[in-house]
Amino acid sequence: MATPLTADRLLAALRAEGVTVVEHPGWRTNNRNHMGPWGPVHGVMIHHTVTSGTASSVDLCFNGHSRLPGPLCHGVIAKDGTVHLVGNGRTNHAGSGDDDVLRAVIAERELPPDNETNTDGNRHFYGFEPINLGDGKDPWPAAQLLAIERAAAAVCRAHGWGARSVIGHLEWQPGKVDPRGFTMDSMRDRIGKRLNPDPVPAKPTAPKPKPPAAKPPAKPRPSAPRYEPYPGAAFFRVGRSSPVITAMGKRLVAEGCSRYSVGPGPKWSGADRQSYAAWQRKLGYTGTDADGIPGKTSWDRLKVPNV
């Protein structure tokens, strides 16, 4: 369960990811919160505007129209890659969709077919509207695709989500086709590589000469310690049982952050969350940033041994 980003945190996350951002006047208070709840948030949804022209598309997404009041998304992504922020809070972009898809997004697993409209998506998804006619002919410039990748990755990184938390409107609501012109699998692949870039391969070195016969062979160097990779925020939920949680708890005890009366054990519990919140506070996090749900940065610094 994730609390929505504040306007300042959303803006900072986008800029930190290299996104060129334009703040449309009034975007911080432009929302549909009076029509229903905003959050908990679980993912990012990508659309297309079915319009052309930056200024007119931004105005439409900010104000909406007679049949669909604005804002119609959180950010409009122009052809040149600029992201125009038009909404902050609940926006009219996702509509009703499939609860099975929502559960798959939360678990970050393969999406099932979207064949129902029984769940409010405006409550749970950030929305980005790239400018495109959606006719299969209007091009998608490289700068625009890069901005979609960066904007979605920025929100995922801020929440500790993986690339499977990003979906297209066509994967959420039956009958929708957006975004049309690229596949969401290809975009998720780009986002995943941005969130978890491949390590740079080491340069080849010349073979070392053999030691003289009279000298004993050199002892092999001990292998570097291996740590558990960050499993994603959705991993830490009530009922989850895993040796990874036990290993995490032992590290929290070693760091002086134990809130356990008995344990730690393999099942995620309130004591685990309280102990992890103590670790987040030790790292300097405060408020909702120290909510006890592991994020990637604090997890990597905890160095949970591989199990």
Taking only the tens place, the pLDDT of each residue in 69-119 is 999 999 999 999 999 999 999 999 999 999 999 999 999 999 999 999 999
Q: Is there a single domain that holds both residue 149 and residue 297?
A: no
Q: Is there a single domain that holds both residue 37 and residue 132?
A: yes
Q: Is there a single domain that holds both residue 41 and residue 179?
A: yes
Mean pLDDT of 45-52: 98
Q: Is there a single domain that holds both residue 73 and residue 191?
A: yes
Distance CA 69, CA 112 (A): 30
The CATH number that applies at residue 244 is 1.10.101
Q: Is there a single domain that holds both residue 56 and residue 162?
A: yes
**What angle in degrees, to the nearest 10, is found between the helix axes of 270-282 and 243-254?**
40
Q: Is there a single domain that holds both residue 176 and residue 111?
A: yes
pLDDT at 204 over 80: no
Out of 202-206, 229-233, 247-251, 252-256, pick the least confident: 202-206
Positive or negative, the CA dihedral 187, 154, 45, 26 is: negative
pLDDT at 44 over 90: yes
Mean pLDDT of 225-234: 88
Mean pLDDT of 193-205: 71
**Tally of structural domains, the chain:** 2
Domain of residue 96: give its range: 7-195
Q: Which of 195, 224, 241 is the last residue of a domain?
A: 195
221 domain residue, yes or no: no
279 domain residue, yes or no: yes
Q: Which of 166, 195, 224 is the last residue of a domain?
A: 195
Q: Is there a single domain that holds both residue 191 and residue 61?
A: yes
What's the pLDDT at 226?
A: 87
Q: Is there a single domain that holds both residue 183 and residue 243?
A: no
Q: Is there a single domain that holds both residue 124 and residue 248?
A: no
pLDDT at 223 over 70: no
Render pLDDT for 251-262 as a digit per residue (tens, 0 to 9).
989 999 999 888
Mean pLDDT of 126-146: 97
